[in-house]
Amino acid sequence: MRATARAHPNIALIKYWGKRDSVRNLPAAGSISATLGDLWTSMTVDLDESLQADVLAVNGRGRADLLPRVARCLDDVLGTSRAAARVASRANFPIAAGIASSASAFAALVVAADAAGGGRRSTAELASLAGRASGSAARSLCGGFVELQPADGDVTVTSLRPASGWPLRVVIAVTDAGPKAVGSTEAMEISRATSPFYARWLEQQADDLAAARAAIAARDFSGLATVAEHNCLKMHSVMWSSRPPIVYWNGVTLDCMRAVRELRSEGSDVFFTIDAGPQVKAFCAAADEARVHAALAAVAGVTDVLVSGLGEAAVPIDDA
């Protein structure tokens, strides 16, 4: 009745921003991401009949504040008549700072909970359950390049290309490791309700998805760079044009974007993307990784630089 799973965060190339159903947590449009290999969350779920209530520790510290969302996810996987659970998670990267830690956490949680309960569910079912807790978490059920589509009141995830099929590198410039001011669920709802650009953003998503799909199939770096940066900047334009405005960037974020564009103009294969936080994620070819790392580390105000390859699906692991 105890199991551990490991999952990796994923970074969206074509972003998810907005829900069609906030009760079921269904995205309004599709998205495409890449799963990271070197950053991970491990999650242990220990179902214990003698326990009065669920308990949660994150990196060794009790986190009652995060428990309700975790307990709801456990109920979704195991049913509400389940035993109480001792849940322990560990991550090897900063959490709640816009590096997709909720994606790896909930992907690992559904896999561990299912394994602790006997391991009955398919990847498709687990992706759907992870997506209820965090929309982007569904994508971490698969490795490599992954597409998520809303379909018939649910989501489907498809692996577009394995990590080994295009081994890009991701260099993450941390500009502020503190927790974000406004969570993505609340921020998406503000955008849906108030941004004059929201409808147009959704209308164009199918074209951006098609362009990214084609670039990934052809290993066309510059095609992917163009559509991914454009899609990222459109998402942030929707955020900025919301009322109240949602601005996740700081000055260092902009300096990192400029550094990435300079490298590209000098011939490096690199592009940036930014999520609901101020960190800049630079996707690059392996041959350009050292140059990208050095350029981002040299930007004043960058507090840390993390590097990762692309990686694999969420899986149960031996926690002995």
Query: Cα separation of 199 and 211, whole Å?
Result: 20
Residue of the chain from 3, 7, 8, 15 that contacts ligand PMV (CB under 6 A): 15
Instruction: Name residue 131's amino acid.
Output: G
What is the C-alpha separation between 251 and 256, in angstroms, rounded? 9
User: Which of 107, 257, 276, 305 is in the footprint of ligand PMV by CB under 6 A?
Assistant: 276
Q: What single letter denotes the amino acid at residue 143?
A: G
Instruction: Give strand pairing partners of 291.
Output: none
Residues 177-196 that bind ligand PMV (CB under 6 A): 184-185
Least CB distance from residue 183 to ligand PMV, whole Å? Answer: 8
Segment near ligand PMV (CB under 6 A); pick from 117-125, 129-137, 197-205, 287-295 = 129-137
Least distance CB 157 / ligand PMV (angstroms) = 12
Identify the residue among 275, 280, 302, 310 touching ligand PMV (CB under 6 A): 275
Segment interacting with ligand PMV, rule: CB under 6 A, options 10-18, 68-76, 164-172, 310-318: 10-18
Q: Provide the edge-to-edge strand list for the sheet that holds 169-174.
A: 270-273, 280-284, 169-174, 304-309
The structure tokens listed for 195 are 């941004």
Sole window of 75-83, 131-139, 192-200, 290-298 interacting with ligand PMV (rule: CB under 6 A): 131-139
Applying CB under 6 A, which of residues 31, 101, 195, 268 lies at the interface with ligand PMV?
31
Cα separation, 25 vs 272, in Å, equals 27
In the block, tokens 């294969």 appear at: 269
Q: Is residue 136 involved in binding ligand PMV (CB under 6 A)? A: yes
Neighbour count for residue 178 (Cβ, 10 Å): 10
The yes or no reply on residue 104 touching ligand PMV (CB under 6 A) is: no
Cis peptide before 9 (omega within 30 of 0): no
Q: At what angle do helices 67-78 and 101-116 cross, to 10 degrees?
A: 40
Q: What is the total count of residues that contact ligand PMV (CB under 6 A)? A: 13
CB of 142 to ligand PMV, least distance (A): 14
3-state secondary structure of 304: strand
β-pair type (154-161, 280-284): unpaired
Options 135, 143, 150, 278; binder of ligand PMV; rule CB under 6 A = 135
By beta-carbon proximity to ligand PMV, the closer residue of 28 and 296 is: 28
**Cβ–Cβ < 8 Å for 105, 69:** no
Instruction: For residue 28, give both structure tokens.
Output: 């309004």
Please list every residue from 232 through 271 that binds ligand PMV, using CB under 6 A: none
Provide the minimum distance between the beta carbon of 102 and ligand PMV in the complex, in angstroms, as a whole number: 5
Residue in the block written with tokens 């949660």: 56
User: Binding to ligand PMV by residue 273, rule CB under 6 A?
Assistant: no
Binding site for ligand PMV (CB under 6 A): 12, 15-17, 31, 102, 134-136, 184-185, 275-276
